[in-house]
Structure 1
Amino acid sequence: MAVVPGIDIGEWDHRLAFLWRWSNLKFVGFYLAHHAMQKRTTWTTHWHDLRDLGWTLVPFWVPFTGKGISKMKTTDGTVHGRFAVDRAHEAGLQAGAAIYLDSEAAVLGGSDDHAYAAYMINWMQAVRQAGFSTGIYCSRLDTQRILTGQDFRPLRPNVWPFAIPIHTRALWNDATYCLTPATPRQWIVQTKDSAWVDNVDAVGCQYDWFRKDRDRQSITWPAAGGDQGGSTDADFDSARISDPTHPLASVAFAIAGDQGQPDLAHVFSVSALELDHFDRTPSGGLSPVERFAHSPADIGPDPAASSSGFDTGWMASVSRRPGFFDGFVTGQDGFIRQFWLNPDERFPTHASCLNPAMPTRKGTPIVAISRRLDQLDLFYVDQQHLLTTRWWNPGESDWTRNVSRLDGPPVSGGSNLVALPSQHDAMTVDRMDVFYVSCEIAASEDDASWSVAHAFRSAGDGWRVSSVPNTSGAAGGSGVAAVRASTGAIHMIAQRRDRSELMHLILEDGQEIWQTSTTMPKRLPSTLGRPDWWMCLYLIAIADALLLFGITRNGALAWSTLGSAGWSEINSIQGPFSSGRPVAYARRGATNVDIVGVTNDGVPLTRTLQIGPDSLNSATP
């Protein structure tokens, strides 16, 4: 069982920007409150900061300290659940995010079991009614009761036990800032813990802490440049999933339309422990699932136990000739694995990877294009946070040698990658263009420089990378969208870091200067009196129109089109997509765009947008 390493500290610290840059840690605890009546914490205004940097989060709401835990049995859990919801809205959590009730001591199993359980259940029901998911951070001694108790089971909470033995056991390296995460079987403190560690609803565990009364008292922080920059006490965690805010939705999708028959498309999905294949049906839905890999070892080298899962952040697929499909996915060991489907082979097992000497960074975005017959170009981010490309064609068939690291600004931790030409362009030219949100940090997160980076290469030339002007303050977490229109112009859209509006820039064919568009609708309509924003963005060129769409913080599918009359108003329909995951999409026919994503419960979800000449005619499931 693969696991993901994380950390928990009590207060916000700007050095978390450096820790993500230099460590292998993926998630961090995020405190909505340290006691029930607290309105704000040092974390409250940093949700977007952390997501833009690349961190995934564990949102904790703490009603009582350990000494005051007895008050839980006489307190109304419904009221406290509403308090937690208010703090979540203030911090900017998206719909469906999991909020973890922090119970600081063992409380179940005694004479007051019913009173404590009633508080927890009422709290979870109030949080769920507000559109969030729920979890419980609790003692390992209470874990089995919460996982299997008949009163808890209908709610199926995500459980995050703390299981701390007497002596330190976390393997933290102060020189490399790396934590060797403990697998679930290593979470065990006593033999009787073996039942709960095998339950998949025990999504993570705090299994150690470094504090002044321990045999290891602190960890070393990195400074901005990677050298040592002080120390702190910390709690160490490991999780079965990479994003504890959306624990059941840890899956990524990719769609590839056939080069010869674009309406024939294959859909692939990756979760921590399996790769799945679907055919897209004539109506835009999914065929029954075909599972073709159960671990990274099925299509690559066999990793260590602690990294024996797939990275579920991103995957890529593309058709390089009619009937030939290639897909790419990263293991938690940082090695890129390839799978393929063609008339002669159907997902063969193999032991090779594309980058045996150069692992990717954690959670790397990954995108693949085929700009001509039998040419594959793959883009991802290496451990130095630099855009890297590998390629394959019949004359250059060694992936391990065909590699180029681009000298440009580092890719922000939360960003996606967009590569052109893609199957969504209106026309193809003999050049490649790649976009991402970059982040360069000087002395602190407050000094960070955010913008959209543009890497491009024409035939016979080398790669050049520059920042797109007037994109300062681009949001890493929602990424960038780009497409080439029928005029040859490249359109690029990104969101500002405060999530207040979109930026639309245009690079006309043959020009070198980007023009800023001021005509598009910049704000999403408010929902229930609260501001909304884009969680991810996508662009498609259809005839002479452009379609912008994405998922909002409320899990809705939103869209706007650009035609001869300018941008349309933003429309939306409820997904209900997980607001924490990207989606995949492909054309079908002249007017349909099929979108595939996942719900917060981990169920695949499809929607179709139908496009007219200048505007969107309808949006139907």
Structure 2
Amino acid sequence: MFGGLDKDNYASLGDAVMGPVRAYTNLRWTGFYLCHQFDATGSSWTAPHSHRVPPVSTWRFLRSEGWGLGPLYLGRQWLRTPNAAGHMVSVPNPGWSEANGKTDGQHAVELAKGVEMENGATIYIDLELDGFMNDAEAKRYLKGWFAAVTQAGYRPGAYCWDSNDARKICTTFRDVAIWFIRMPEQQPTVYNESDGMLFRLPPAADFVDPEEEPGQIGRVACQFAWYNQERGFPGAKLRTSPTTLHEVNPIDFDAARMPDPSHPEAKTALCLTDFGSNAPAAFFLDPSVAAWQFLENGRQWGDWMQGGIVTPEAVTFKDLGYGRWFDTASVAAASRKTWNVDLFGLGVDGSLWTTRLLSVGDDLPWSEPQVLNSSTPARHGSAIAAVSRRTDVLDVFFFNTAHELTTTWWAPGDPDWQAHVGAISHGFSFAPGTNIAALTSPTDSERLDLFAVDSSNTVRWVQWRTPAPWATASVPLAEAADPAVGVHAIWSEGQIHLLVGTRSGRLAHLVHPDGTQGGPSDWSTVGFVPRVAAQARPMAARVTRFSGAVVAVVIDSLGILSWSAYDGVNWTVPGTDVPPKGYSTGGRLAVTVTSPEALDVLLPDQKNSWYVRRLVPSGVPAAPLTTGELWAW
């Protein structure tokens, strides 16, 4: 489970608070109000902020700060009126109709597009009182609203009470995501101001509806705490640094099954890695299970291993008050020799764990999972990277709770993971939403190059070359980096190529001529990876070397998978692919070179399925890659 907050007024939070709160608490997502009345032109959350550089919307700003989001649209509500005895009662809204539902749904879409919300995101209609599904006109109103949002390329959701509407919407409108309200009569303490921890989150059983069908999105999030004067809690003090707090009164607390309720279809972390000859392995990490498959006989992707390979119950995690769960911000894997593979993940308590497979066969199980960092926990939502720089050696990287880049390693002659844990960056913090790009050298097994975005939106280069210690440098970039898109790296022809997401919504391409930190040569910005449309911005990107060229693979805000090749001078015009149900824009993407003739891309679609899309050489220099086979699960 992943904690969240929602607050009606963004001004009571603001940019200077939201970035630090994401870094110093376990709050991972926030409600985002498109409007507080069905005919309103927006809210403090949608208002422009010209002081930002670049002047992006609050939606995009929070995405870059690493927040998951839950967009809310206040629809037409029950009306409150006095009865003959003078008591306030709820009566049906005369504005409820299917036509008005469509009108209001279109208005919600206009507000979403106004903040540059990516296609495919979930928009939740806010139903403040229970009983909509008991009224025929209210049901028609919801039908129209859901249809208009769906037609515009978004997923409809409903924020509603659990006792009636949540259950009936879930069974009547099966493509609608549910953010339900379940509030105890007496408000218990759920937030610890001393350490910034939201605890006592609802149990997983609360998110299960027995009438849900397999593959249905169903119950995504739950509002479970109101901190206000009427319930005896005058707000909460959110931690913004090790020594500072920001008071918010009132404030509501929520929980979700994934870190980003606007993309419930992207709840799993994904990765690909080498495994055997022309047989890469694929992994997904769900909050409750890790599973894998591999390319059998170099030709056919298999099925995800039934029951998974490890569950949180098998790992010695701490229970922070709401159970033991995998943190699905990231997952990593590396192969230290042929037909061996090691998988790495995090628990929500910050435990870095691993399990390994030493060969392939039905009777060869994965090893018992092992925690690697007992004395140095990872921060909430940390990225992970893992590489094997030579046979039987593994290096793993994560961010500790001081927001420093941290490593540990394993070798047959020195296998004590715990003894090797240590920070390798000092004096600055890494941004909560950044990935970690880890490079091994094609010519030097005693060298590692790491890249990530710091809290000032600068790309940092952390390098190890034996016998020297770890060293850090900044990568010059003319504009602010976007931690949520991150930095991605590859060696090619003796040069390091970087792709860096920028807060302006582009993908910058930088090259270092020899990879020598502190040498006479420095980074040069070659340009930008071409976009398929002017309004398309990258939501996830990867870079690799394939068929003699540097290749960028991108999922953009329109839900289009695109790719482009750099031949040393120019980027080619992007090739594109869109499946019938549309690719997810939730930022999940993995890429691997399967063979000299195949580049495989793993990603989810909008309807809770996964795809591997194969790219193959086309023989056409202007467009050197084209689509090959497609596997779906």
TM-score (norm 1): 0.89
Once the two structures are TM-superposed, the CA of residue 145 in structure 1 deviates from its matched residue by: 4.2
Once the two structures are TM-superposed, the CA of residue 106 in structure 1 deviates from its matched residue by: 1.2
Query: Counterpart in 2 of 1:37?
Result: 39
Instruction: Give 2:384's match in structure 1, choosing from 345, 356, 366.
Output: 366
Instruction: Give 1:570's match in structure 2, choosing from 561, 574, 595.
Output: 574
User: Once the two structures are superposed, what CA deviation does each residue of 1:316-374 show, in whole Å capped at 9, x if it has no partner?
Assistant: 11110122111111122221121111138844453631112222112211110000111
SS of aligned partner of 2:238: strand
User: Once the two structures are superposed, what CA deviation does each residue of 1:413-466 show, in whole Å capped at 9, x if it has no partner?
Assistant: 221111001xxx876664110111111xxxxxxxxx211111111121111112
Instruction: Give 1:157's match in structure 2, choosing from 170, 176, 193.
Output: 176
* C-alpha distance in 1 between matches for 2:95 and 2:177: 20
Q: Note closer, same or farther for the CA distance 1:134–1:391 as it changes in structure 2 (3 Å cut).
A: same
Query: Counterpart in 2 of 1:459?
Result: 466
Contact 1:284–1:594 (8 Å) recurs in 2: no
**Are positions 1:588 and 2:603 aligned together?**
no
**What aligned pairs does 1:332-351 form with structure 2 within 5 A after superposition?**
332-343=348-359, 346-348=364-366, 350=368
Aligned AA for 1:618? Answer: T
SS of aligned partner of 1:220: strand
Aligned AA for 1:552? Answer: D
* C-alpha distance in 1 between matches for 2:377 and 2:589: 25
Query: Counterpart in 2 of 1:391?
Result: 409
Once the two structures are TM-superposed, the CA of residue 186 in structure 1 deviates from its matched residue by: 8.7
SS of aligned partner of 1:169: coil
Once the two structures are TM-superposed, the CA of residue 519 in structure 1 deviates from its matched residue by: 4.5
* C-alpha distance in 1 between matches for 2:243 and 2:188: 25
Instruction: Give 1:146's match in structure 2, choosing from 153, 168, 189.
Output: 168
Once the two structures are TM-superposed, the CA of residue 98 in structure 1 deviates from its matched residue by: 0.6
Contact 2:101–2:145 (8 Å) recurs in 1: yes
Contact 1:299–1:339 (8 Å) recurs in 2: no
**Are positions 1:88 and 2:112 aligned together?**
yes
User: Once the two structures are superposed, what CA deviation does each residue of 1:259-309 show, in whole Å capped at 9, x if it has no partner?
Assistant: xx4412221111111111112245765202213345212244474662422
Q: Note closer, same or farther for the CA distance 1:544–1:145 as it changes in structure 2 (3 Å cut).
A: closer
Contact 2:223–2:253 (8 Å) recurs in 1: yes
Bigger shift: 451-460 or 247-256?
A: 247-256
* C-alpha distance in 2 between matches for 1:197 and 1:462: 55
Unaligned runs of 5+ in 2: 47-56, 81-91
SS of aligned partner of 2:58: helix
User: Once the two structures are superposed, what CA deviation does each residue of 1:53-101 show, in whole Å capped at 9, x if it has no partner?
Assistant: 1110111111246656725524611111111111111112111111101
User: Once the two structures are superposed, what CA deviation does each residue of 1:592-618 show, in whole Å capped at 9, x if it has no partner?
Assistant: 210111112221101112246865231
Contact 2:199–2:320 (8 Å) recurs in 1: no
SS of aligned partner of 1:183: coil
* C-alpha distance in 2 between matches for 1:429 and 1:135: 50
* C-alpha distance in 2 between matches for 1:275 and 1:537: 23
Instruction: Give 2:3's match in structure 1, choosing from 5, 10, 16.
Output: 5
**What aligned pairs does 1:402-413 form with structure 2 within 5 A after superposition?**
402-408=420-426, 409-413=428-432
Number of aligned pairs?
Answer: 590
Once the two structures are TM-superposed, the CA of residue 489 in structure 1 deviates from its matched residue by: 0.9
Contact 1:157–1:201 (8 Å) recurs in 2: yes
* C-alpha distance in 2 between matches for 1:315 and 1:362: 14
Query: Counterpart in 1 of 2:246?
Result: 229
Q: Note closer, same or farther for the CA distance 1:217–1:608 as it changes in structure 2 (3 Å cut).
A: same
Aligned AA for 1:368? Answer: A
* C-alpha distance in 2 between matches for 1:185 and 1:215: 27
Q: Note closer, same or farther for the CA distance 1:130–1:252 as it changes in structure 2 (3 Å cut).
A: same
Instruction: Give 2:609's match in structure 1, choosing from 603, 610, 614.
Output: 603
Bigger shift: 402-411 or 382-391?
A: 402-411
**What aligned pairs does 1:270-285 form with structure 2 within 5 A after superposition?**
270-281=285-296, 285=300
SS of aligned partner of 1:248: helix
Aligned AA for 1:534? Answer: P
Bigger shift: 64-73 or 353-362?
A: 64-73
Q: Note closer, same or farther for the CA distance 1:283–1:61 as it changes in structure 2 (3 Å cut).
A: farther
Contact 2:222–2:255 (8 Å) recurs in 1: yes
User: Once the two structures are superposed, what CA deviation does each residue of 1:113-157 show, in whole Å capped at 9, x if it has no partner?
Assistant: 1111111121111111111111100122333542454xx24x331
Contact 2:559–2:578 (8 Å) recurs in 1: yes
Bigger shift: 333-342 or 135-144?
A: 135-144
SS of aligned partner of 1:122: helix
Q: Matched residues, percent identical?
A: 24
Bigger shift: 288-297 or 193-202?
A: 193-202
* C-alpha distance in 1 between matches for 2:20 and 2:515: 39
User: Once the two structures are superposed, what CA deviation does each residue of 1:353-411 show, in whole Å capped at 9, x if it has no partner?
Assistant: 11122221122111100001111000111112211111000122111111121224322
Once the two structures are TM-superposed, the CA of residue 564 in structure 1 deviates from its matched residue by: 4.4
* C-alpha distance in 1 between matches for 2:39 and 2:412: 65
Aligned AA for 1:607? Answer: R
**Are positions 1:97 and 2:121 aligned together?**
yes
* C-alpha distance in 2 between matches for 1:19 and 1:319: 36
Contact 2:3–2:198 (8 Å) recurs in 1: yes
Aligned AA for 2:507? Answer: L
Query: Counterpart in 1 of 2:50?
Result: none
Query: Counterpart in 2 of 1:241?
Result: 258
Query: Counterpart in 2 of 1:205?
Result: 222
Instruction: Give 2:146's match in structure 1, choosing from 98, 101, 124.
Output: 124
Contact 1:249–1:601 (8 Å) recurs in 2: no
**Are positions 1:400 and 2:418 aligned together?**
yes
Unaligned runs of 5+ in 1: 440-448
Instruction: Give 1:295's match in structure 2, choosing from 311, 328, 347.
Output: 311
* C-alpha distance in 2 between matches for 1:285 and 1:410: 43
Aligned AA for 2:615? Answer: L
Query: Counterpart in 2 of 1:319?
Result: 335
Contact 2:339–2:358 (8 Å) recurs in 1: yes
Bigger shift: 411-420 or 66-75?
A: 66-75
Q: Note closer, same or farther for the CA distance 1:399–1:281 as it changes in structure 2 (3 Å cut).
A: same
Query: Counterpart in 1 of 2:85?
Result: none
Query: Counterpart in 2 of 1:532?
Result: 536
Q: Note closer, same or farther for the CA distance 1:195–1:213 as it changes in structure 2 (3 Å cut).
A: farther
CA RMSD, 1 decimal:
2.7
* C-alpha distance in 1 between matches for 2:574 and 2:133: 52
Once the two structures are TM-superposed, the CA of residue 5 in structure 1 deviates from its matched residue by: 1.1
Instruction: Give 1:508's match in structure 2, choosing from 504, 510, 513.
Output: 513
Once the two structures are TM-superposed, the CA of residue 225 in structure 1 deviates from its matched residue by: 5.5
Aligned AA for 1:117? Answer: K
Higher relative CO (CA 8 A, sep ≥ 6), structure 1 or 2? 1
Once the two structures are TM-superposed, the CA of residue 103 in structure 1 deviates from its matched residue by: 0.7
Q: Note closer, same or farther for the CA distance 1:178–1:66 as it changes in structure 2 (3 Å cut).
A: farther
Aligned AA for 1:248? Answer: E
